[in-house]
Amino acid sequence: MSGKTFYIETFGCQMNVHDSEKVIGTLMAQGYAQVEAPEDAHLVLYNTCSIRDKAEQKVFNRLQNFKRDAGKGKIFGVLGCVAQQEGEKIFDRAPHVSLVCGSASYTRLGEMLVQLEAGNRHVTGLSLDTDETFDTPFTRRDNPHRAYITIIEGCDKSCAYCVVPFTRGPERSRTSESVMAEARRLAAEGYTEIQLLGQNVNSYRDPSAAGWDFAALLGRVAEIPGIRRVRYTTSHPRDFVRAIVDAMDANAVLCDHVHLPVQSGSTRMLAAMDRLYTRDQYMRRIEWLKTARRRYSITTDIIVGFPGETEEDFAQTLDLLEKVEYDSLFSFKYSPRPNTAALAFSDRVPEEEKQRRLVILQEKQRAIQIRRNAELIGAVREVLVEGRNQALGQWIGRTSDNRTLNFTQADSNGDSLEGKYLPVRVTRSGPNSLVGESATVV
């Protein structure tokens, strides 16, 4: 085991994935080399997620596996949302951990590494009291074509089930100058797709004099020469204003996809969740998208079995699925989380009932996706080629509306198509992806 090597494993959402890219860049700038196995690393880091109980358990299982390595010169660090949530309790639960650091403190990572190297075995970064965002020149990006850019950190909402406001702190927007400079630099480096990130990108507000809102920022990023696709995630329906749809309509670089998490189709449940919109208000946003100039793919997140959810509430969620016709969705069983308001709610839905509802919901959605994907047979869509599936002899493509469209290329002369944009004709469809043939001869 040599010094100055690190291993990092990342759990959770894209924000975490991108945070890890920044942490990796920062560590490499300090002379650390990344290794692929925790056994080979001097510094072992877990960037954790605590959105549901299962996610939180993962890091403790990992740490448990390495208990016997304690005191052998290996340094363990817990980063991210579990770190922020559990704080110094982690030192008791896993005494071989020396670093506990939440995402709001990554700007201090350099000095924390110095402390660890000096032998300090209780280093923490747990303050949420910061106006700073984690802008670093050292980001180590994973994908050669698509790059994430954080535009806003934290969350000022207080959804009754959610830990994020506690684990990521209050909202902090980056200046538009800083976002634009990063996007231009990425374009110059050859990236063609940009994904703007935040727990609620819609509430982005430029802190500098320009004062851009999210729609204005979207429009400007889409105008950067060399950028062919811009995506963003995630949206809160309450802050999803008409101007965002107008900005998307005005420039096709802004991808044909909106992820608009609804959580429930029942206004009563939405109120209990403190989501700040009714079913009707949500449906108005869906109308904007359905009557827009382009055809947008809409996806969502649903929670089943929130405390007090009745059969009737659940039936309204199923009905909403039919009305909106989502192209895909993430569905979750409600998981009680520390610090959240819903922890005190009575009328818990039993585990078996949550499971039953989840299965019904997923079956219904599967049927919708089979139907909607089949409608695309014969259509031609532009894909960004993301890779190759050797076993199937197919290239892996992604459409602007975020579908996977894998395809064969008849006259390929063996050159890699990765990173190219190509028109593909859809020939077959399944519930989760499409298959096609390249519509041009390369």
Where do contacts with ligand SF4 occur on this chain (CB under 6 A)?
A: 155, 157, 159, 162, 164-165, 199-200, 236
One DSSP character per residue, 50-72 reads -SSHHHHHHHHHHHHHTGGGTTT
Within 10 angstroms of residue 111's Cβ, the number of other Cβ atoms is: 11
Q: Which stretch binds ligand SAH (CB under 6 A): 42-50, 99-107, 327-335, 343-351?
A: 327-335
Candidate ranges 49-57, 286-294, 341-349, 395-403; the one touching ligand F3S (CB under 6 A)? 49-57
Alpha-carbon distance 268 to 306, whole Å?
11
Nearest-approach distance from CB 234 to ligand SF4, in angstroms: 7
Whether residue 221 contacts residue 193, with contact meaning beta carbons closer than 8 Å, is answered with: no
Q: Which does 52 bind (CB under 5 to 8 A by kind): ligand SAH, ligand F3S, ligand SF4, none?
A: ligand SAH
Which of the choices ligand SAH, ligand F3S, ligand SF4, none does residue 12 contact, using the CB cut-off of 5 to 8 A by kind?
Answer: ligand F3S
Could you tell me which residues come within 8 angstroms of residue 352 by beta carbon, excluding any fewer than 6 positions away? none
Contacting ligand SAH (CB under 6 A), which of 102, 154, 261, 436? Answer: 261
Query: Minimum distance from CB of 265 to ligand F3S (Å)?
Result: 23
Whether a cis peptide bond, with omega within 30° of 0, leads into 408 is no
Tokens 């062919």 locate to: 228
Instruction: State the Cα–Cα distance between residues 317 and 320, nearest whole angstrom.
Output: 5
Instruction: Compare residues 335 and 365 and give the one whose CB is closer to ligand SAH.
Output: 335
Q: How far is the CB of 417 from ligand SAH (least distance, A)?
A: 33
CA distance 223 to 195: 14
DSSP assignment of 241-302: -HHHHHHHHH-TTB-SEEE---B-S-HHHHHHTT-S--HHHHHHHHHHHHTSSS--EEEEEE
Q: How far apart are CA 425 and CA 440, in angstroms?
A: 9
Regarding 16 and contact with ligand F3S (CB under 6 A), the answer is yes
Query: Out of ligand SF4, ligand SAH, ligand F3S, none, which partner does residue 16 contact, by CB within 5 to 8 A per kind?
Result: ligand F3S
> Considering the rule CB under 6 A, would residue 383 count as an interface residue with ligand F3S?
no
Binding mask 198-227 for ligand F3S (x = CB under 6 A): ------------------------------
Q: Which residues bind ligand SAH (CB under 6 A)?
A: 51-52, 161-162, 164, 199-200, 234, 236, 261, 263, 301, 303, 332, 334-335, 337
